[in-house]
Structure formats: structure tokens, C-alpha cells
Copies of this chain bind each other. A is one copy, B any other.
Amino acid sequence: MFPERTLPKEIIEAFSEIDVPNISDAMDRLGISGALSHIKAVIPYSRICGQAFTVHFAPSGIIKGTVGDYIDDILPGEVVVLDNNGREDCAVWGDIVSIYAARRGIAGTLIDGVCRDIDIIRERNYPVFSKGTYMVSGRDRVYADRVGGTVSIAGIQVNPGDLICGDGNGVVAIPFEHADEVLKTALEIEAMEKEIIEKLNAGMSFIEASRQS
């Protein structure tokens, strides 16, 4: 992570308590794209929130790499963002890295691709978001060719330090530069939503409750 792209702890904590649909609505209102389609929580209802530590994968060939070469460089609280070009035929995250990442306080893993060893992932309560699971290893199929650069997740550009927020509804990537305004807007949307729910609970019709807000 570049130190000049570190968000204050309070910002990340505030985001972690907002439902992802409200963050998505805030991004809509501000005209910022960042919705990651077809990427889901491996363990239903888990949540992820943290700044991106990016890794790009390329096919193995004459050049090969070792899985996990980058893992000691990730800081606690960061989200490992693995761009495996959407490949579903081999996993770039598994049991040993999950155990190690969980123990080191890494916030979770986001993959444009698949993971394996979901029993360990579930047992450790380590949040992983991916296109699915598959038992085949990435070893000798792909290798991490770039760490800390710009990557593509579900067709969205993700840069180191961007904020990754996911829950049961899906995942969004919020550009570092826009974190403040997205948070402010998402909190407003959340407050407005609470007000509508209170009005409905007080017996108002749906149209009345929605219009007054």
C-alpha cells in the first residue's frame, strides 16, 4: 500500500456498518461506477470492508511463479484483490493463505476468479468474495506477475487503496479519491431510508411515506 493512499480508520469503520445497496445508491447519485457483477460471498452473508492490495495473475508458461509470494506484504485491515482475469478453471486462493491471512488480521479476499478449501474459509470465518469455488490449483496454471498495480475486477478498474465493500448483496469498489463523498451520501441515504421505514411502521401508505421523504 502507498502510505499517501491510506484512509483514516474511522472512514473504513463507518463504511463497514453501511449495507452495500446504500453505498451503491450513493455511487449512483454521484455518478461513480464500481459495481462488481457476478462476484458473491463464498460463505453466505459474510461481509468484507477494507482497502485494496492488488495482485494480477497471468498464465504460467516458460515463466512460473510461486503462489503466496506477495502475502507477507499485505497489511492488516487490507483486502487482497486478485485479478485472475475471471478464470473459473483454477483457484488462486485456498486453505494455507486463508489461515495465514486470518491470523494476520487481513480483512478478506476478493477474486475475479475462484477459490478453494471452503471448509477452512468457513471455519475461520475469513471473508472471501469470488465467482465461485473449484478444487483445481492455480499452481503451474497461473502466477502473480504484478503486485500493487491497477487491476480489473469484473470489468471495473481497481487501484491500490481503493475501498472494497461487500455483503450478501454483492461487492462494490469505491475509488480512493471518492471515499469521503460516497460515505457522506451513503449516510444520508441510510437516514432517509430509516425515516421511510418508520413512517410505514406508523401506518402510512407506501406512496405517502415515499413522497414525504
A residues at B contact (CB < 8 Å)? 19-21, 23-25, 28, 35, 37, 45, 66, 68-69, 71-72, 88-89, 91, 94-97, 99-100, 103, 116-119, 122, 133-137, 139-140, 167-172, 193, 196-197, 200-201, 205-207, 210
Contact = CB atoms under 8 A, between A and B. Distances in A.
A20 to B, nearest CB: 5
B37 A172 contact: no
B205 A72 contact: yes
A96 B206 CA distance: 9
Contacts of A167: 119, 135
A119 to B, nearest CB: 6
Given A99-B197, A137-B21, A169 B116 contact: yes
A193 B96 contact: yes
A69 to B, nearest CB: 7
A167 to B, nearest CB: 7
A103 B201 CA distance: 9
A116 B20 CA distance: 9
How many monomers of this protein are in the complex? 3
A95 B133 contact: no
Contacts of A99: 197, 200
Contacts of A89: 37
A170 B19 contact: no
B24 A135 contact: yes
B139 A28 contact: yes
Nearest to A43: B44
A7 B144 CA distance: 40
Contacts of A122: 45
A72 B137 CA distance: 38
Given A137-B28, A139-B28, A169 B35 contact: no
Nearest to A68: B206
B95 A136 contact: no
A135 B172 CA distance: 9
